[in-house]
Structure formats: C-alpha cells, structure tokens
C-alpha cells in the first residue's frame, strides 16, 4: 500500500519531469485560483521571448517552498518562479542563484511603468532581483450602506474620527471591524497595522531584531488592540468564513489586502458601489503616514538567464502594462504597474489615495519578518485574538519576545 | 532376551549428518532469500535508506537553502530543548500518548463487553467501526464543526442547561488538545473494540463456565479470568495506540486551526511544522529521530511485556 | 451429599426442542452416568443441572431444595469439564484455591482443603506449575481437585476422560470410581462411551434424542435392553440385529434356522408375525471355543474377516447374505473364506417388536 503509493508518486514525478523537459523553460508558482491570469502571462511571455514556457503550479505553499528550496540546494534552480519579498527574498538572493535585474528596472522606471518605491520592494541591498507579479496595498474596505446608515458622511481622516465612526456603527447595530483569524496567518494584520499607525520605524525594527516584542512600542499597540476588543469593535475571531460578516453586513469595515475586493465582488458586493476603501489614519497627528504593501515577486535563475538571453524578453513582458492588464482582466489582480488600468474601483480608489497622500510603503510583516519566526509569532497573535485580555496580551508579548530573542541569538 | 542396545554411531556418520543438515538449510535459505529479495529491496530503498539518510541529516546544519554539507553535531538535538514552548509540546505529546492508550482501550473494552450477545450486535459493531474507515482529515473537518462555537456539542449542552453556549473548544488552550484527543478516541475505539472482541472470542468458554460454577460473580470472572487471558490482546492494542498517539498528526493539523500559540502541538506536528513550514530540514530530521526513538523504545518495552504475559497464560 | 431430582425437564433453543421431558432421580451417593450418542442431549442435561443453561420447563431439586433459579455457585455442585477448563494463567495451587478465595474463605481453611485434595490426587509436586506445564492426566486431576475442594453435594463430570489416551483413560476411570467411593459422593457423569458407563455407573441413564431410553443398573441395561436403540448402543461390538419371524411353539425363525426360545421369557405374538431378533456376539459360540450352549441352533458360514484382540477374536461371517459377528474365546488364527460352525444360544436372545422397536421380554 505505502510502497505502491510511493511508486505511483515517483511515476508522476518522472512524468512531470519529462513533460517539463520538453519545454525550454518552466514557470513555477503556488498561487491557486489565478490559473487564467497565469495562462495569459505565460502565453504572453512565450510570445515575447520566443521561448517555449510552461506553467507548473504546486500547492500548498509549504510544499512549494520545500520543492524550490531543495531544487536550489540540489543545484537545479528553476528558471522562473514566484517567491516572497522581504526576508524571504533576502535569503533566496543569498544563494547567489538569482539573476540581477537592475537593467530591466532602469528601463521600466524610464518607461514610467513603475516608480522607485516599487523597485525598493523587490530589492536586496539596493539591487532589484525580482519583478512584481502583483502589488497589493492594505486599506480598510468599508460597507458604504453601513456608513450611510450610521450617518458617517466620509471615511475617517483622523484617529478620533475613526473611533467616532466605529462608535456610530456600533450604535447602528454593526460590528465595526471584521477581524477573522482563519488559516493560521491572519493574526498579524491588526498587530502590524496598529504598529505602523503608532510607530512605523518601530515596526520595521521588529522585523530586524532591533525592537523587542515586549517593549513600550508593542505594549502601546497591544493596549489599543485590547481596548478595541473591549469596546466590541471586532467580530468573533473563531469564525471560519473570513468574509461572512462582511457579506451578511454584520460588520462594516475590513482591514485587508485590496485583492479581497475581488472576493467580495464574487459574493455580490460590488466594489465602488457597496464597497469603498480608505487608509487607516495614524493615531498621533505627527506620526508618518504609511501603507502596508504586499508584493509578490517573480524571480529568475541567474544561470538560466545567462544560457537563454531571451528570458530577459520574457521578464520585460511580465513587467509590462500588457501583462498587468492581462492579470487584471483575468483575475482582478493589480500588478502594481502604474500604466495598467485599475482592475476594479477599490484599486483605483487606493491608487488615488496614494497619489494624493504619498504614504510610506512598508513591507508586510509576513514577508518582512525572518521566515523562521513567521509561524511561531503569528500563532501567538492568533492566540491573542482568541483570548483578547490584558493578561493574555502580556503573555503573548513575553512569549513572542522569547521566541524572537532565541532566533536572533542563533544568527 | 535383553532389551536392544544402543548401537554406536561413528564419527564419520556424525560428520556426514552435520554436512547434510547444513546443505539442506543452505538450500532452503537460498530459496527463501530469492523470495524475499524483492520485498527486501523495496524496504531498503523506501524505508532503510530514508531512515539512515534522515539520521545523517539530523547532524547537518541544513535549513532553507543551504547547510546540507555542514556538520552541525548535536546542535539540532540541543536546539529542541531550547524551544520556548517545548514543554507544551512534551505535555501535549504525553497527553496524546496517555489518552490514546487508555481511552480507546477503556471505551473499546466497555463496548466490546456490552455488545457481546446483544441483538443487532453486528450492526452496532459496524457503526462503531465506521469512523475508522474515514480519512483522518475528513474526520478532523467534521469534528471541527462539531466543536465549533455554534456546533453540535454546544447546541446539545445548551439545550441541556437551557441557555446558549458558544464555547470554543478548539480555541481555548486548555480544551483544544483534549477535544482533539476525544475525536481520535471516537475514530479509534471501533478498531480497539473489534480487536478486543476478537481477543475475547479466542478465550475458551470453559474456564469462564468453570469460574461460574466456582462461584465467581460476573465482575470476578472478568477481573480474574477474562482480563488476564485478554492481556496479550490488550497489549497489542496498546502498542497500536501508543504508536498512533505518538504520531498523531492529521487530526491536529486539520483541527487545530493554526494551533494558536502552539498550544496544541504534538511532537509529530512539531516535526512537520519545523521541517516544512519553517524549512529547518535538519532540525525536523532531529525531531523525527527523537520521535522514532521514543516510539521504538516504548513499543519495544510493551512488546517485551506482551510476550511475558502471553508466556504466562499459554 | 444429596440426592438429585429432575422433574419434567424440557430445554428449548428457540423452536428446537433439545430435551423433551425427562424425569429422573439420582440417589444420595449414587454414581449416575448419562450415556448416549452425540446430540442426544446428555451434556445439555448436565449443564442444566450445573446452572450453565436455564431450565426451560420442569423442576430441579438438589438435596430436597428446588434450585431452578439458584445460581450455579449456590447449588452445591462442582463440575469437571471435558477440556478440564483450568485457569491457564494460574498455578495449580491457585486453580484449586480460586473458588474458595473469591468466596472469602479464610486462609487456613483454603489450605486445609487444598492440601487434602492435593494429597488425595497426588498433586503435591505440581502445586506451583501452570496447567501448560502439566500432562493431560495431571490436568485432569487438577480439575477433579478443583471440584473436590468445593466439597460439593453433587459432582458433575462432563466427558472428563475423552481427551486422555487409552491407557490413562482406564487408569483415571478407576481413580474416579475409587474417589467416589471414598467420598461417598453423588456423581452425575456424562459420557458417550458405553464401556465407561458400564464400568463406572451405579445407574445408567441411556439418552436418545432428548428422552430417556432406559434407566437401570449396568447389567440390567445390558441384559434387558428395553428397546432396539439401547440394545444396539450398549455392548461392543454392537448386537447382531436381524429380521425374524415367530414359528410354531416357542421358536424364532431366522437365517433359515429355528432357534428355540425359553418359555415364559417373552410375550410372543402369533406365529408368523415378523419380529426383530437381537443376538450378542458372545452368544454366537464358535465350535470348539468356550462352552457350547445347550439350547440353541447351529449355523455355519464363511468368514469374511476377523479382528484379533488377543484374549478373543471377533469373527465376522456371512450366512445367506447376512453378516453376523461372533466372539471367539481363546482364539486360533482364522483365515478369510474359511467356513466355521457356530451355535447360537437360544436362552440369551433378545426379541423386539418390529413396529415399536420395544422389547417383547416380560418384566
């Protein structure tokens, strides 16, 4: 039984290899649900480069990472694959297997496709090693009907207005914020948001070990978080359907990546009509305005790039407004290219806000934190959401710092 | 006439006899080897090789993209004891092992005793055995919703006490592991029951009747006759349960939604978590070695006890 | 010790009637043997007495007390099983003491009885062994010892000798008999072996198909079988059974012979009536061996084969297509095909009604 399973999987792997080797290049990715978009990107990249590029999806994410990591450790770096930015990109680039894309970025910025801000998201020590698959900002999505019902005329511009809006929504029978903790990763959302709204630099410091998880900066964020729970601003963290309270209009606001607009649209809430977006205001007027940005990079093998110079044409295409529009049309995903059309009203709203306020882009905690700490720390944050008391907040901070300390001690 | 004398057997005859014996043994040994060679090959390729490879791995520094060629000594083993929540992992694993040994056995035995000779015995047996044939991942998903704040358990408990209950069994650090263990028990007690029923069926009827005539009550018969004679089966069941308890993975993986604060991690889940989620391959290998050593040690001890008990009743 | 009384015993398994109405009285101190072919209900009957089967109908009285609803342990019985039913995980000592121990007897009493039984049965050297370390005969003695220490009013034996080899069986049989006499015990003993029944019993109860076919002392059952079944079952080899006809005068015609019959022994029907004739092998005496019967008929036939037993031979021979068996005392070698002359003892024949299969003998 077990042996036959192993044999079968070996056979499938072998078949996979032969199928892949018939192509010039294989493009690996783990993003599920974007099949149409990837098909369009791969077709376009093949045309632009004249190479025969095949897509290969692998899920779930941990198996995908294991596959990529062992391929690289075994000296067979895939030619094109999606990865994560931040610390994940740092350690990938450390292997020396990833192609330097400085020339391509120079071109792209020249052409007005991207700005320096995006380039920074995909750079390690100032050198860009990746191109964007997509870029997603993290605004608050809000139910326009709920705001109207609560008599809120426009999205809050200051912390006081936010609190007033939340109280008004509560008064009108809404839970102000939808805050799920599904899938083991969502715990960091409010933690990081409250950190950047109180002290963006301290937030960055958390991710490089220079700021402790139990220091005054974190204490303050945790206090606000606990206070919000006490005030009844959040939905039950035990709910497993992450958009349920938004869709059934029990909750009015949802702090999440802008890609969620597509999910809500699928469930009948039209972006722009029922759903709007705003950035959470800083808590203190003097705090720097910022926005969390999640960016998914595509990277190229340095060796493959050298062997097949045409691969650079594929990369150029993948950065282009055409590629961005193809992904947007297929899956409603925003590539980050400034010359693409916004795939939906939320993206254009966020584009407009960013153009006006020019907030500082901050890499999402998930990517910014060392990967070895990700799971351990986020599960502590999840634990806080399930028991949002002052004592538990203290315990969570202590435990996070213990984990953090032992990690950095090992480096 | 005198009784026949033992005729002397010469050294030559003895030597030849020995030679013939060895030749015969060799012949059958060669044939046996021929037959087990394919199995041996597969075991070597898919079991022995990975085990040895894994052992070697546990002494390297391999994590994420590199370190496979760096010798780390006992670093990974030491690291295990430095994990801040290692005590949680140990406590949870202990709870799993103890719960997995005792509960399915106790419930399985109780059911086996209750069901013997009851009308519809076959139907009940099948019913209790049914969960066993479901994939643990499916069972975990079902029970996740049974334990949900608005799930069946809270509804029943609420109806019983007459007020709404929305306790999050799988979201509270002190109930999550017991709750998952109970699901494990639900799934395992059927096979425990069936094995114990088989064991009971193998107990001869006569000593029980003799004890009956000897004046023993039902409890005394169970305590003094059935239980001692059932012990070998109990040990077999226990060994299976110990292994299942140590290696409990699927249910925890599915039911402990993100295992908040690692409060539900068992050694087996921790191994997977460190290996695949944190990409600490060598560390994961070290946990696997520790886990295997524990399982082998405990199973071996139980096997020794089992053969002693069996010896005694044969 | 006590007497045992069975009144209108019936056992039903669903619709199947295993015991069809049995009345029986076993005297105090009597050795009573239930014998019959397999499936006749003898073990069921014993298990009903032991309390291992419910009594579907009727009453069981032990020592003057109706015990239908009394559990086994309080019936004052002890049972020895065919398989010995020893507790495999206990030493001989614990096997003997188990019943008393759970009954909460004090140690001194347990030891006294245990030592008594061990001595009587010669179990002393084996007290610390487990059943698996004993031979069949030793196990059997432990089983008997376990029954003895209970000091029961009635001993029940369920085919206790059938797992022993022939030599041991004879030996143990004697021991059981001697023990019963020593203890003056009431014993009910089940066997399918009629020799065991004959040798052990004060009273034999022959069972057939859930009913009592005949009750009586061994010789009584042997000499005066009440019906064809008992006649065929008791005695080895089985009685020669052949069709016959009543002749003129006290004579039975069979095999073309006229066998004279003793006057007044049978209620003979009218001449010409078909009857069934039974002759035991020892009552067909080969010429020149043993005592030649005075009253009888001569017959000769070709030997088909013979079984040599040493002290005697069984000669199977053919008379006009009917096979008869004769017992040859102080035998000589006999070849197949050889023609021998025999004399049938007319005073020892058995006659049965062909219809009802009951004996024609006057009581």
Per-residue pLDDT tens digits for A190-207: 999 999 999 999 999 999
Q: Best mutation site among C51, C73, C94, C105 for testing chain B: the one with the most B CBs within 10 Å?
A: C73
What pLDDT score was predicted for residue A10? Answer: 43
Q: Would you call C341 helix, strand, or coil by DSSP?
A: strand
Q: Say if residue A259 is in the same domain as residue A377.
A: yes
Mean pLDDT, residues C61-84 taken together: 90
Residue numbers of the domain that contains C211: 4-233
CA–CA separation, B174 and B170 (whole Å): 9
Q: Say if residue A269 is in the same domain as residue A128.
A: no
Instruction: Give me the number of domains chain A comprises.
Output: 2
What pLDDT score was predicted for residue B258? Answer: 57
Q: Which one, of C241, C211, C174, lies nearest residue C31 by Cα?
A: C174
Largest distance between two CA atoms of chain C: 76
| B28 CA: distance to closest CA in chain C (Å) | 33
Q: Say if residue C169 is in the same domain as residue C253.
A: no
What residues pair up with C20 in beta bridges, in sequence order?
Answer: C10
Residue C188 lies in a domain: yes
Q: Of A312, A329, A356, which residue sits at a domain end?
A: A356
Q: Which one has a higher pLDDT value, B310 or A21?
A: B310
Q: Say if residue C219 is in the same domain as residue C267.
A: no
What residues pair up with C279 in beta bridges, in sequence order?
Answer: C240
Tell me whether B168 touches chain C (CB under 8 Å): no
Which residues in chain B touch residue A182, judged by CB atoms under 8 angstroms apart? Answer: 257
Q: Say if residue A328 is in the same domain as residue A300.
A: yes
Residue C362 lies in a domain: no
Largest distance between two CA atoms of chain B: 101
What pLDDT score was predicted for residue B175? Answer: 87
Q: Of C186, C202, C233, which residue sits at a domain end?
A: C233
Q: Give the residue from chain B lying closest to C77, CA to CA.
A: B213
What pLDDT score was predicted for residue B257? Answer: 64
Q: Could you count the other beta carbons within 10 Å of the beta carbon of residue B251?
A: 24
Tens digit of each residue's pLDDT (9 = 90 or more) over B17-63: 999 999 988 888 888 899 899 999 999 999 999 999 999 999 998 88
CATH number of B75-313: 1.10.3720.10
Q: Which one, of C296, C288, C290, lies nearest residue C349 by Cα?
A: C296
Q: Say if residue A145 is in the same domain as residue A231.
A: yes
DSSP secondary structure, B183-199, as one string? HHHHHHHHHHHHHHHHH
Q: Say if residue A257 is in the same domain as residue A399.
A: yes
Q: Say if residue A313 is in the same domain as residue A232.
A: no
| B145 CA: distance to closest CA in chain C (Å) | 47
Which of A346-350, B1-5, C133-137, C359-363 shows the lowest per-residue confidence on average (mean pLDDT)? B1-5
For residue C54, how far is the Cα from the chain centroid?
Answer: 25
Q: Say if residue C67 is in the same domain as residue C152.
A: yes
C264-289 burial code (b ≥16 CB/10 A, e <16):
eebebeeeeeebbbbbbbbbbbbeeb
Q: Best mutation site among C87, C101, C129 for testing chain B: the one with the most B CBs within 10 Å?
A: C87
Residue C228 lies in a domain: yes
Tell me whether B53 touches chain A (CB under 8 Å): no
What pLDDT score was predicted for residue B259? Answer: 53
What pLDDT score was predicted for residue A43? Answer: 95
Q: Which one has a higher pLDDT value, C11 or B3?
A: C11
Q: Could you count the other beta carbons within 10 Å of the beta carbon of residue A90?
A: 16
Q: Say if residue A199 is in the same domain as residue A132.
A: no
| Cβ contact C240:C278 at 8 Å | yes
Residue C358 lies in a domain: no
Percentage of residues of chain B with pLDDT beyond 70 = 96
The angle subtended at Cα C201 by Cα C197 and Cα C204, nearest 5°, is 70
Per-residue pLDDT for B178 more than 70? yes
Average pLDDT, chain C: 91
Sequence-distant (6+) residues with CB within 8 A of C118 are C96, C124, C127, C145
What pLDDT score was predicted for residue A306? Answer: 93
- B 200-229 → C contacts, CB under 8 A: 204, 206-207, 209-217, 220, 224-225, 228-229
Which residues in chain A touch residue B46, judged by CB atoms under 8 angstroms apart? Answer: 2-3, 6
Per-residue pLDDT for A18 more than 70? no
Q: Which one, of B235, B232, B230, lies nearest residue B116 by Cα?
A: B230
What pLDDT score was predicted for residue A169? Answer: 97
Q: Which one, of C246, C270, C266, C276, lies nearest residue C258 by Cα?
A: C246
Q: Say if residue A80 is in the same domain as residue A150.
A: no
| A356 CA: distance to closest CA in chain B (Å) | 38
Q: Which one, of A164, A86, A149, A167, lies nearest residue A123 by Cα?
A: A86
- B 294-313 → C contacts, CB under 8 A: 312-313
CA–CA separation, B96 and C154 (whole Å): 54
Q: Say if residue C170 is in the same domain as residue C22.
A: yes
Residue among B217, B225, B314 whose CB faces C87 most closely: B225
CA–CA separation, B102 and B184 (whole Å): 12
Q: Say if residue C203 is in the same domain as residue C265.
A: no
Mean pLDDT, residues C178-187 taken together: 90
Whether residue A184 and residue B84 make contact (CB cut-off 8 A), yes or no, is no
Q: Say if residue C107 is in the same domain as residue C87.
A: yes
Per-residue pLDDT for B117 more than 80? no
Tens digit of each residue's pLDDT (9 = 90 or more) over C202-233: 999 999 999 999 999 999 999 999 999 999 99
| Cβ contact A177:A234 at 8 Å | yes
Angle between helices C136-148 and C166-183 in degrees, nearest 10: 20
Give the model's confidence band at B261: pLDDT under 50 very low, under 70 low, under 90 confident, else very high: low
Q: Say if residue C199 is in the same domain as residue C284.
A: no
Give the model's confidence band at A172: pLDDT under 50 very low, under 70 low, under 90 confident, else very high: very high
DSSP secondary structure, chain B, as one string? -PPPP-PPPPHHHHHHHHHHHHHHHHHHHHHHHHHHHHHHHHHIIIIIHHHHHHHHHTTB--BTTB-TTSB-TTHHHHHHTT-TTHHHHHHHHHHHHHHHHHHHHHHHHHHHHHHTT-TTHHHHHHHHHHHHHS-HHHHHHHHHHHSSTTSHHHHHHHHHHTS-----TTTSTTTHHHHHHHHHHHHHHHHHHHHHHHHHHTS-HHHHHHHHHTT--HHHHIIIIIHHHHHHHHHHHHHHHHHHHHT--HHHHHHSTT-GGGTT--HHHHHHIIIIIS--HHHHHHHHHHHHHHHHHHHHHHHHHHHHHHHHH-
Do A and B touch, counting CB pairs below 8 Å (3 needed)? Answer: yes
Which residues in chain B touch residue A62, judged by CB atoms under 8 angstroms apart? Answer: 276-277
Mean pLDDT, residues C28-57 taken together: 92
Q: Of A356, A374, A398, which residue sits at a domain end?
A: A356
Per-residue H/E/C for B212-227 = HHCCCCHHHHHHHHHH
Q: Which one has a higher pLDDT value, A269 or B70?
A: A269
CA–CA separation, C286 and C344 (whole Å): 9
Whether residue B211 and residue C98 make contact (CB cut-off 8 A), yes or no, is yes
Q: Of C188, C217, C233, which residue sits at a domain end?
A: C233
| A397 CA: distance to closest CA in chain B (Å) | 11
Q: Would you call C199 helix, strand, or coil by DSSP?
A: helix
Instruction: Name the pTM for this structure.
Output: 0.78
Q: Of C175, C200, C233, which residue sits at a domain end?
A: C233
Q: Token pair for residue A100?
A: 């330097």
Mean pLDDT, residues A219-234 taken together: 97
Which residues in chain B touch residue C88, judged by CB atoms under 8 angstroms apart? Answer: 207, 229, 313-314
The angle subtended at Cα C19 by Cα C13 and Cα C24, nearest 5°, is 145
Which residues in chain A touch residue B275, judged by CB atoms under 8 angstroms apart? Answer: 66
What pLDDT score was predicted for residue C301? Answer: 93
CA–CA separation, A310 and A304 (whole Å): 10
How high is the ipTM of this complex? Answer: 0.79
Tens digit of each residue's pLDDT (9 = 90 or more) over C243-296: 999 998 889 999 888 999 888 889 888 898 999 999 999 999 999 998 899 888
What's chain A's length in residues? Answer: 411
For residue B265, how far is the Cα from the chain centroid?
Answer: 18
Residue C360 lies in a domain: no
Which residues in chain B touch residue A240, judged by CB atoms under 8 angstroms apart? Answer: 144, 148, 257
Q: Say if residue A114 is in the same domain as residue A124.
A: yes
Tens digit of each residue's pLDDT (9 = 90 or more) over A232-267: 999 999 888 889 999 999 999 999 999 898 889 888
Percentage of residues of chain A with pLDDT beyond 70 = 94
| Cβ contact A80:A298 at 8 Å | yes
What pLDDT score was predicted for residue A236? Answer: 92
Per-residue pLDDT for A144 more than 90? yes
Q: Which helix (H) or strand (E) holds C336?
A: none
Mean pLDDT, residues C157-183 taken together: 88
Which residues in chain B touch residue C85, judged by CB atoms under 8 angstroms apart? Answer: 204, 206-207, 209-210
Q: Say if residue A315 is in the same domain as residue A380.
A: no
Mean pLDDT, residues A298-326 taken together: 94
Q: Which one has a higher pLDDT value, B259 or A175?
A: A175
Tell me whether B82 touches chain A (CB under 8 Å): yes
For residue C303, how far is the Cα from the chain centroid?
Answer: 31
| Contacting partners of chain B (3+ CB pairs under 8 A) | A, C
| Cβ contact A140:A279 at 8 Å | yes
What's chain C's length in residues? Answer: 363
Q: Say if residue C188 is in the same domain as residue C265.
A: no
Q: Would you call C147 helix, strand, or coil by DSSP?
A: helix
Q: Which one has a higher pLDDT value, A60 or B251?
A: B251
Q: Say if residue A185 is in the same domain as residue A268.
A: yes
Q: Say if residue A222 is in the same domain as residue A273.
A: yes
Sequence-distant (6+) residues with CB within 8 A of B6 are none
Q: Token pair for residue C17?
A: 């009637």
Residue A361 lies in a domain: no
CA–CA separation, C131 and C141 (whole Å): 11
Per-residue pLDDT for A7 more than 70? no
Q: What spatial distance separates the first Cα and last Cα of chain C, rounded to whole Å?
A: 33
Tell me whether B164 touches chain C (CB under 8 Å): no
Mean pLDDT, residues B196-222 taken together: 89
Tens digit of each residue's pLDDT (9 = 90 or more) over B138-148: 999 899 889 98
Residue numbers of the domain that contains A172: 140-292+366-410
Tell me whether B174 touches chain A (CB under 8 Å): no
Helices (H), chain C: 42-50, 92-102, 107-121, 136-148, 166-183, 194-200, 218-223, 228-233
Percentage of residues of chain A with pLDDT beyond 90 = 69
C23-61 burial code (b ≥16 CB/10 A, e <16):
ebebeebbbbbbbbeeebbbbbbbbbbbbbbebeebebb
Sequence-distant (6+) residues with CB within 8 A of C119 are none
Q: Would you call C6 helix, strand, or coil by DSSP?
A: strand
Which residues in chain C touch residue B311, judged by CB atoms under 8 angstroms apart? Answer: none
Do A and C touch, counting CB pairs below 8 Å (3 needed)? Answer: no
Tens digit of each residue's pLDDT (9 = 90 or more) over A81-95: 999 988 889 999 999
A214: domain CATH number is 3.40.190.10
Average pLDDT, chain A: 89
Sequence-distant (6+) residues with CB within 8 A of C80 are C140, C143, C144, C146, C147, C155, C156, C157, C158, C160
Whether residue B213 and residue C77 make contact (CB cut-off 8 A), yes or no, is yes
CA–CA separation, C313 and B82 (whole Å): 92
CA–CA separation, B233 and A298 (whole Å): 58
Q: Say if residue C9 is in the same domain as residue C141.
A: yes
What pLDDT score was predicted for residue B263? Answer: 64
Residue C167 lies in a domain: yes
Sequence-distant (6+) residues with CB within 8 A of B294 are B246, B267
Q: Prior bond to C237 cis, omega within 30?
A: yes
Tens digit of each residue's pLDDT (9 = 90 or more) over C145-162: 999 898 899 999 999 888
Q: What is the edge-to-edge ordering of all strands in the sheet holding C65-66?
A: C16-26, C4-13, C57-62, C65-66
- B 29-48 → A contacts, CB under 8 A: 42, 46
Cβ neighbourhood burial of B55 (10 Å; 0-12, 13-18, 19+)? middle
- B 220-259 → A contacts, CB under 8 A: 257-259
Tell me whether B164 touches chain A (CB under 8 Å): no
| B276 CA: distance to closest CA in chain A (Å) | 6
Per-residue pLDDT for A210 more than 90? yes
Largest distance between two CA atoms of chain A: 66
Give the model's confidence band at B274: pLDDT under 50 very low, under 70 low, under 90 confident, else very high: confident
């Amino acid at each position: 039984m077990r042996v036959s399973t192993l044999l079968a999987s070996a056979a499938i792997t072998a078949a996979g290899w032969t199928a892949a080797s018939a192509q010039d290049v294989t493009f690996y990715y783990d993003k599920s649900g974007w099949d149409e978009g990837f098909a369009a990107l791969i077709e376009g990249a093949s045309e632009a480069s004249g190479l025969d590029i095949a897509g290969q999806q692998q899920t779930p994410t941990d198996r995908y990472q294991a596959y990529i990591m062992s391929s690289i450790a075994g000296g067979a770096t895939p030619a094109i694959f999606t990865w994560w930015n931040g610390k994940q990109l740092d350690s990938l680039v450390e292997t020396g297997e990833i192609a330097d894309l400085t020339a391509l970025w120079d071109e792209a910025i020249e052409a007005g496709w991207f700005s320096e801000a995006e380039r920074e998201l995909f750079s390690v020590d100032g050198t860009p090693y990746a191109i964007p698959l997509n870029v997603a900002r993290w605004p608050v999505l809000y139910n326009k009907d709920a705001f109207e019902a609560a008599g809120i005329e426009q999205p809050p511009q200051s912390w006081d207005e936010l609190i007033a809006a939340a109280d008004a929504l509560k008064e009108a029978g809404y839970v102000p914020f939808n805050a799920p903790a599904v899938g083991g990763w969502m715990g960091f959302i409010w933690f990081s948001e409250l950190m950047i709204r109180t002290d963006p630099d301290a937030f960055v410091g958390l991710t490089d070990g220079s700021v402790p998880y139990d220091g005054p900066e974190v204490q303050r964020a945790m206090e606000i978080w606990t206070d919000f729970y006490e005030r009844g601003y959040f939905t039950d963290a035990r709910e497993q359907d992450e958009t349920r309270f938004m869709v059934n209009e029990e909750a009015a606001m949802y702090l999440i990546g802008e890609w969620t607009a597509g999910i809500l649209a699928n469930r009948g809430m039209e972006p722009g009509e029922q759903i709007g977006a705003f950035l959470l205001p800083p808590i203190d007027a003097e705090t720097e305005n910022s926005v969390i940005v999640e960016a998914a990079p595509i990277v190229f093998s340095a060796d493959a790039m050298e062997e097949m110079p045409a691969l650079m044409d594929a990369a150029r295409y993948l950065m282009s407004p055409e590629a961005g529009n193809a992904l947007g049309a297929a899956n409603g995903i925003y590539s980050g290219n400034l010359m693409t059309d916004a795939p939906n009203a939320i993206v254009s709203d966020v584009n407009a806000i960013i153009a006006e306020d020019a907030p500082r882009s901050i890499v999402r905690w998930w990517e910014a934190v060392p990967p070895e700490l990700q799971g351990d720390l986020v599960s502590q944050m999840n634990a806080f959401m399930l028991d949002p008391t002052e004592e538990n907040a203290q315990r969570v901070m202590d435990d996070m710092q213990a984990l953090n300390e032992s990690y950095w001690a090992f480096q | 006439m005198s009784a026949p004398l033992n005729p002397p057997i010469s050294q030559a005859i003895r030597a030849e006899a020995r030679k013939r014996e060895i030749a015969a043994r060799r012949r059958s040994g060669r044939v046996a080897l021929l037959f087990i060679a394919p199995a041996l090959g597969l075991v070597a390729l898919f079991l022995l090789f990975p085990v040895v490879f894994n052992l070697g791995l546990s002494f390297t520094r391999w994590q994420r993209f590199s370190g496979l060629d760096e010798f780390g000594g006992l670093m990974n083993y030491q690291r295990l004891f430095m994990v801040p929540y290692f005590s949680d992992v140990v406590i949870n694993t202990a709870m799993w092992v103890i719960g997995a040994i005792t509960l399915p056995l106790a419930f399985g035995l109780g059911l086996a005793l209750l069901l013997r000779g009851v009308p519809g015995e076959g139907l009940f047996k099948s019913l209790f055995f049914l969960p066993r044939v479901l994939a643990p991942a499916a069972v975990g998903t079902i029970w996740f919703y049974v334990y949900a704040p608005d799930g069946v358990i809270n509804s029943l408990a609420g109806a019983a006490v007459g007020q709404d209950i929305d306790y999050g069994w799988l979201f509270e650090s002190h109930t999550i592991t017991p709750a998952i263990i109970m699901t494990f028990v639900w799934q395992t007690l059927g096979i425990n029951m069936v094995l114990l029923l088989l064991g009971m069926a193998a107990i001869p009827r006569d000593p029980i009747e003799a004890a009956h005539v000897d004046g023993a009550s039902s409890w005394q018969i169970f305590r003094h006759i059935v239980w001692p004679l059932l012990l070998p089966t109990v040990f077999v069941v226990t060994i299976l349960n110990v292994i299942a308890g140590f290696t409990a993975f699927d249910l925890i993986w599915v039911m402990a939604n993100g295992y908040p604060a690692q409060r539900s991690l068992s050694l087996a889940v921790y191994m997977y978590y460190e290996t695949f989620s944190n990409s600490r391959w060598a560390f994961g290998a070290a946990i696997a070695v520790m886990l295997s050593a524990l399982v082998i040690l405990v199973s071996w001890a139980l096997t020794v006890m089992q053969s002693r008990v069996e010896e005694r009743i044969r | 010790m006590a007497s045992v009384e069975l009144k209108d015993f019936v056992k039903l398994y669903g619709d199947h009637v295993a015991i069809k109405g049995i009345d029986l009285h076993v005297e105090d101190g009597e050795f009573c043997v239930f014998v019959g072919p397999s499936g006749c209900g003898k073990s069921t009957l014993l298990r009903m007495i032991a309390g291992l089967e419910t009594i579907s109908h009727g009453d069981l009285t032990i020592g003057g007390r109706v015990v239908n609803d009394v559990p086994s342990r309080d019936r004052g019985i002890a049972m020895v099983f065919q398989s010995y039913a020893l507790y495999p995980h206990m030493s001989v000592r614990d096997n003997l003491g188990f019943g008393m121990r759970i009954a909460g007897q004090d140690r001194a009493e347990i030891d006294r009885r245990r030592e008594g039984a061990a001595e009587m049965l010669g179990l002393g050297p084996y007290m610390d062994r487990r059943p698996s370390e004993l031979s069949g005969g030793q196990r059997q003695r432990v089983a008997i010892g376990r029954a003895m220490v209970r000091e029961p009013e009635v001993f029940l034996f369920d085919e206790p000798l059938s797992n022993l080899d022939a030599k041991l069986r004879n030996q143990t049989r004697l021991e059981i008999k001697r023990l019963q006499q020593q203890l003056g015990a009431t014993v009910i003993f089940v066997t399918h072996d009629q020799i065991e029944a004959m040798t052990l019993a004060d009273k034999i109860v022959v069972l057939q198909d859930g009913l009592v076919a005949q009750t009586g002392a061994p010789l009584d059952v042997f000499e005066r079988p009440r019906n064809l079944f008992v006649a065929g079952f008791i005695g080895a080899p089985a009685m020669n059974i052949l069709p016959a006809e009543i002749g003129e005068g006290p004579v039975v015609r069979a095999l073309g012979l006229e066998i004279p019959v003793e006057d007044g022994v049978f209620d003979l029907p009218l001449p010409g009536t078909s009857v069934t004739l039974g002759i035991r092998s020892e009552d067909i005496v080969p010429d020149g061996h043993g005592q030649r019967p005075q009253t009888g008929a001569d017959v000769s036939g070709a030997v088909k084969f013979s079984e040599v037993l040493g002290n005697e031979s069984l000669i199977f021979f053919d008379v006009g297509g009917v096979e008869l068996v004769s017992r040859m005392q102080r035998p000589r070698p006999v070849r197949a095909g050889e023609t021998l002359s025999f004399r049938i003892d007319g005073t020892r024949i058995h006659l049965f009604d062909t219809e009802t299969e009951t004996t024609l003998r006057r009581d």
